[in-house]
Amino acid sequence: MISVQEFARRLSMVGPAVVTSHDVEDLADAAGVRIDPGRGIDADQAQQMLDHVSPTAPVSGTAMVASTWPPAEPARPAVAPVVFSSAGGQVDAPADPPARPRRSGQARAGQPGRSRRSGN
């Protein structure tokens, strides 16, 4: 058994909207389920209420009142993978900039024998 507040929190996790304890009481009334906020909600009551949720909750009443939450199996449907490019497709990208020419030979005038190392 779980409290009405915990049931509301868990239902919010698997549903598209935030659910309050007042919403759970309204849902129980609509489903014809008598709940006692001081006693809590058992698996049968949870399932009867879940049967009246639209869209259908992707979890059972037993899983909702289980001591371990969230359930081991994913409660939400898996998201389809995103494909960023097709196999063998060309990628449009700017061309590489031209390479800078390398200087070789003697140092520039005005800087004879200057080393890149500090101290020379």
pLDDT tens-place string over residues 6-51? 999 999 988 888 999 999 999 999 999 999 888 899 999 999 999 9
Whether residue 108 is contained in a domain is answered as no
In DSSP notation, 6-33 reads HHHHHHHHHSSS---HHHHHHHHHHHT-
pLDDT digits (tens, 9 = 90+) for 81-119: 555 555 565 656 566 666 777 776 666 655 555 556 665
* Residue ranges making up the domain that contains 41: 4-65
Phi, psi of 95 (to 5 degrees): -70, 155
Tell me whether residue 94 is in a domain.
no
Residue 67: per-residue pLDDT: 84
Spatial separation of the C-alpha atoms in residues 46 and 7, rounded to whole Å:
8
Contact between 10 and 23 under an 8 Å Cβ cutoff? The reply is: no
Report the domain count for the chain.
Answer: 1
Q: Is residue 55 part of a domain?
A: yes
Name residue 2's beta-bridge partners. Answer: 41
**Whole-structure pTM value:** 0.57
Residue 52 resides in a domain: yes
pLDDT at residue 110, rounded to an integer: 58
Residue 119 domain-assigned (yes or no): no
Q: Is residue 42 part of a domain?
A: yes
Question: Residue 62 carries which DSSP code?
Answer: H
Q: How many CB atoms lie within 10 A of CB 77?
A: 7
